[in-house]
Amino acid sequence: MNETAVPARANPVLWLVIGLPALAVVASFASLALAILHGDKELPASYHWEGKGLDGDEARIAEAGRLSMTAEVQVDGIAGRCTVQLAEAAGAAIYVDFTHPTETSADRHVVLQREGASSLYGGACAPLPAAHWWVQVGDTAGRWLLRGRAEGALAAPLLLSPRAPARDEPALQPPARQLPAHIAGTATS
């Protein structure tokens, strides 16, 4: 038998066994350096106040539910006019916020005035580019709030209503599965 010794440095498996853990160690130190040098800023001391605002929004949405408020929002881009038809009148003016998902420069805040004695509110507003919009309608006194999402330029009416499930209600559950008759008779409880 003629066996020639292969040097250890020529064995590719040895390089994998040594190289991969060594690479992981080097990468972890690089990640640590990035985290130390370019980490996120600390949260401001007033950050916890934002939660109170969110609770206030929940209370305003609940108030809209109690009042049975609904809103039909429509944007006429050609006429440059926004209208909101409420289930019933809610003061002299309401506001509509159109929030673009990525470009804050496309966001709109529009105050609409009540038209006559009806529950129709209208006013001038610039056309909206097609996007996935967050739409929020509320009274200017801050008592109630309706929210929803829409796609496109909102040329078709968008119906907003208060959220149905309360905070402590379970999420939507899948429908219960019915057992076949031949199995249902043998099932034990």
DSSP 147-181: EEEEEETS-S-EEE----S-TTSPPPPPPPPPPPH
Strand 120-124 vs strand 81-86: parallel, antiparallel, or unpaired? Answer: antiparallel
On whether the CB atoms of residues 121 and 94 are closer than 8 A, the answer is yes
Please give the pLDDT value at position 47: 59
Distance of CA 174 to CAs 6, 107, 118, 165, Å? Answer: 63, 36, 42, 16
Q: How far, in Å, CA of 13 to CA of 19, rounded?
A: 10
Please give the pLDDT value at position 169: 40
Q: 184 is written with which tokens?
A: 């249902």
Strand 81-86 vs strand 71-76: parallel, antiparallel, or unpaired? Answer: antiparallel
Q: How far, in Å, CA of 142 to CA of 92, rounded?
A: 13
Please give the pLDDT value at position 179: 42
Overall size of the chain counted in residues: 189
CATH: 1.10.20, 2.60.120, 2.60.40, 1.10.10. Which one for 57-160?
Answer: 2.60.40
**In a structure prediction context, what are the per-residue pLDDT tens digits for the chain, which is 189 residues long?**
566 777 777 788 888 889 999 999 999 999 999 988 887 777 666 656 566 666 678 888 999 989 989 999 999 988 989 999 998 888 899 999 999 888 888 888 999 999 988 899 999 988 888 889 999 999 988 899 999 998 888 888 899 988 644 334 443 333 344 444 544 444 444
pTM metric for this prediction: 0.59
Helix then strand then coil, in percent of the chain rounded to 5, is: 30, 25, 40
